[in-house]
Structure 1
Amino acid sequence: MADQIQLSLLKQGHKVWNQWREDHPEVKPDLVGANLSRAELYHTNLEEADLQDADLQDANLFKANLFRANLNNAKLNGAKLDLAYLDEITAVKAQFRNASLKDATLYGGDLRESLLWGTNLYNTVLSFAKLQGSTLWDANLTEASLNDTDLTGAHLQSANFNKADLSNARLIKAGMERCTLVKTKLDGAVLEDCNVYGISAWDLDLSKLKQQNLVINSDPEAPLIVDNLEMAQFIYLILNNKKLKDVIDTITSKAVLILGRFTEKRKAVLDAIREELRKQNLTPILFDFNKPASKDLTGTVETLARLSKFIIADVTNPMSIQHELAYITKELTTTPILPIKLKGSKTYTMLKNLKRYPWFMPIYEYIDQESLIAELSEVIRPANEKADSYRQES
């Protein structure tokens, strides 16, 4: 039970209490089980106070000093702890439901199995805190510092980690369904054996995140597990969004990549090919680039090529698409490539080496734009049929 004399002094306000603390620095306040519900304890010095099992629900602890206080099993539901100093507190199984700890510091605090459901922890410092098994459902952890925090087995459903720092945090076996991770810092964090169903993850650097065994569905009887947050969102969308599946099917069954570096003089040919492909119920994708080959550019070409049914490559200009064309011809073994060129124009000798690949079609030479468009359905027919045969084989 709480020391009744101390409790009486505390209820006289923070000025009386703080003066008593100054006069008796050797005394560690005994407030075990005290009823301090709705108490005005702002600016109050509760350093190293024993508040185990205390009722602090809806109490005003604004800027209170709770350094190394014992809050085990204490009830702080709805309490106002904004800017409070709670470094190294012990709050095992404490209840902070719907409390506000905005801008508070809980550096190194022990909050294992605590209830922080709906708590506002905006810009709160929780670095090196122990939060194993704690419940932070719907908690607002925007811009919070959680670096080196142990969240093993924590219940983080629908928590908001927008711009939070989770560097070196441990998130093993954490429940992260419907969490928001936008611009969250995850350097060195460990994300393993977590349920990330419905997670919203954007603008993240995952290069230094250790991640594996992430469950992306809500069926405990048949969990679907991947090892990457980005893959988790993508796979889930493909499996559960019929419209997205239809879009992907449409792209891969109808898309035609038109590849080349087209001069202003020859733009009309490009536009005419694109319009004719549309008339034939195909979806043209134009990639008209004017800079030299680069790793990023080649990667973009490869991505577009993998999404396409077949490729039309303009090889009229000897300087055009040599590197990209050679790369995708060797890498994409089931995507027909149809090279075209203006009759009489020069091209590069490398094309001879590409002709040995069965998906690299014979070069079609056209006399002028009008004849090319007039015959385009027949020009593309071999590539179209070969693409259909590849799809059937797979």
Structure 2
Amino acid sequence: MSNNQCLVDILKKGSGYWNSWRLENPEKKLIVGNINFRGQDLNGLDLQGANLNGIDFSGANLREINLQQANLFQADFRETSLEDVDFSSSNLTNAYLNNLDLRGTKFLAAQLDGANLQKSNLQGVNLERTLSRGTNFYEANLEKSHFYQAALHQADLSFAKLNSANLVQAGLIRSDLSNSDLSEADLTEAELVGAWLRNTKFCKANLTRAKLLNSQLSEADFAKATLVDCWVYGISAWEIKNLDTATQKNLIITRDDEPIITVDDLEIAQFIHILLSNQKIRRVIDTITSKVVLILGRFTSERKAILDALREELRNRNYSSVVFDFEKPSERDLTETVSTLAHLSRFVIADITDAKSIPQELQRIIPSLPSLPIQPIILDSQHEYAMFRDFGAYRSVLPPHRYQCIEQLIVSLDEKVIAPALERAQEIAKQRRDFEAHFK
């Protein structure tokens, strides 16, 4: 008797007999081929580890069936009943699971590459650590679903409902999430590199430390979303909605291999990126009256608290800080980049504590931008570097403000840092106006 016929005979005796037989014959490999399961009642069957490559289950009753670790490559589940089915660690590559009610099913660590789940209901389903590369989730209901550490590269999630979904550390590289609803979803540390996010809803979504490099965000809705420590290099951010209600902090506009430059506004991030990468635009802009404050410093792990405190206090005063951290090494010349950022700024705060790269950058900025106030700050226990005194001839350079600790720096920030810089800017502007008046 053939293996298939033997299995068919056992299956005909019902799920109870089949499951008992499996317990008694655990060494038997279930290789099923050319068996017609269409419309069959397979309720409660244990098919764990079975080779069901290309099997047609359409119209079958598969409630409570165990398909863990099964090979279901190109299997057809259309119009089946799949209540409480366990697909954990199974191979569902190119399988047909579209237009189904899949609530209660388990897909933990399953392989769903290229599978079709279009318009299926997967509300609350566990899809953690699945391989769902190129999977079709078009118009699927994925509300409150779990995609922790799932690989969803190049998946089609357009028009999908992903409200309150867990996408922590999910890989969504070059995926299509256009017109999808990610309201209140958790996208912490998610990789959205090159993702298509046009007209996507991120209302109250958490995107902390998410990678949005080269993503298309045009017309996306960020109402009350959290955008903190995100990588946003190369984004397209035209006509973004409700960004003014979002929490935006420390958005990184540089690549992984470049010194970190951060801003606190997604739209400003795109603008500064364009400015830094386009020489013609830089020539057009001579000065910008704005609330941008450039912070220069070498912020080691021990001194990062100073940087964070400065950023937070400036943010509270409605300034947008741009931070250039010289701690990260680079082999390319950064002078032009720093100079461009300085052109955008209302004034510069330069922390010359433990200065290394800063002297070179100040040497470029100060002579070329004589109207830009430079307010140095330094830890009280240190001395200015030797050549710093040469800047005393420039009216734009204020005396260094010495501080003993973070708390003292914050308390004195308005009086000793911001106010002197703004006052010096007004003095320089008045001097220029008075000088120009002689020629009228």
Same fold (TM over 0.5): yes
Contact 2:148 2:167 in 1 (8 A): yes
CA gap 1:141/1:14 in 2 versus in 1, 3 angstroms: farther
| Separation of aligned partners in 2, 1:23 and 1:60 | 13
Contact 1:14 1:42 in 2 (8 A): no
| Separation of aligned partners in 1, 2:211 and 2:176 | 16
Contact 1:148 1:169 in 2 (8 A): yes
Deviations for 1:332-373, whole angstroms, at most 9, x for unmatched residues? 95899xxxxxxxxxxxxxxxxxxxx77778xxxxxxxxxxxx
Residues 1:229 and 2:266 are matched in the alignment:
yes
Which residue of 264, 267, 277 maps to 1:240?
277
| Separation of aligned partners in 1, 2:137 and 2:105 | 16
Which residue of 6, 9, 16 maps to 2:40?
16
AA matched with 1:158? G
Which residue of 63, 68, 76 maps to 2:112?
76
| Separation of aligned partners in 1, 2:38 and 2:121 | 15
Match of 2:267, SS state, is helix
Match of 1:191, SS state, is strand
Q: Displacement, 1:158?
A: 0.7
Q: Displacement, 1:188?
A: 1.3
AA matched with 2:97? L
Unaligned regions of 5+ residues in structure 1, if any? 253-305, 307-331, 337-356, 362-380, 387-394
Show the counterpart of 1:197: 233
Residues 1:56 and 2:80 are matched in the alignment:
no
| Separation of aligned partners in 1, 2:262 and 2:287 | 27
Q: Displacement, 1:160?
A: 1.1
Residues 1:108 and 2:144 are matched in the alignment:
yes
Residues 1:151 and 2:195 are matched in the alignment:
no
| Separation of aligned partners in 2, 1:124 and 1:15 | 29
Deviations for 1:44-102, whole angstroms, at most 9, x for unmatched residues? 22222110011110111111221121101100100111111111111110011011110
Residues 1:141 and 2:177 are matched in the alignment:
yes
1:373-384 equivalence runs, <5 A: 382=436
CA gap 1:142/1:101 in 2 versus in 1, 3 angstroms: same
1:346-361 equivalence runs, <5 A: none
Scaled by the length of structure 1, the TM-score of the pair is: 0.60
Match of 2:282, SS state, is helix
CA gap 1:14/1:121 in 2 versus in 1, 3 angstroms: farther
Contact 1:13 1:40 in 2 (8 A): no
Show the counterpart of 2:246: 209
How many residue pairs align between the two structures?
267
Which segments of structure 1 move beyond 6 Å, counting only runs of 4 or more? 6-11, 18-25, 357-361
Bigger radius of gyration among the two: 1
Quote the RMSD (CA, aligned, Å): 3.5
| Separation of aligned partners in 1, 2:66 and 2:198 | 39
Match of 2:237, SS state, is strand
Contact 2:60 2:81 in 1 (8 A): no
Q: Displacement, 1:19?
A: 8.7
CA gap 1:181/1:333 in 2 versus in 1, 3 angstroms: same
Q: Displacement, 1:116?
A: 0.4
Scaled by the length of structure 2, the TM-score of the pair is: 0.54
Residues 1:47 and 2:83 are matched in the alignment:
yes
AA matched with 2:245? K
| Separation of aligned partners in 2, 1:241 and 1:87 | 46
Q: Displacement, 1:235?
A: 1.6
| Separation of aligned partners in 2, 1:41 and 1:200 | 39
Contact 1:177 1:198 in 2 (8 A): yes
Match of 2:273, SS state, is helix
Match of 2:140, SS state, is coil
AA matched with 1:224? I
Q: Displacement, 1:107?
A: 0.9
| Separation of aligned partners in 2, 1:383 and 1:241 | 35
Q: Displacement, 1:213?
A: 0.8
Residues 1:35 and 2:71 are matched in the alignment:
yes
Match of 2:276, SS state, is helix
Residues 1:87 and 2:123 are matched in the alignment:
yes
Contact 2:153 2:174 in 1 (8 A): yes
CA gap 1:385/1:236 in 2 versus in 1, 3 angstroms: farther
Between 1:113-122 and 1:215-224, the stretch displaced more is: 215-224
Deviations for 1:170-206, whole angstroms, at most 9, x for unmatched residues? 1011111011111111111111111001111111221
**Identity among equivalent pairs (%):** 30
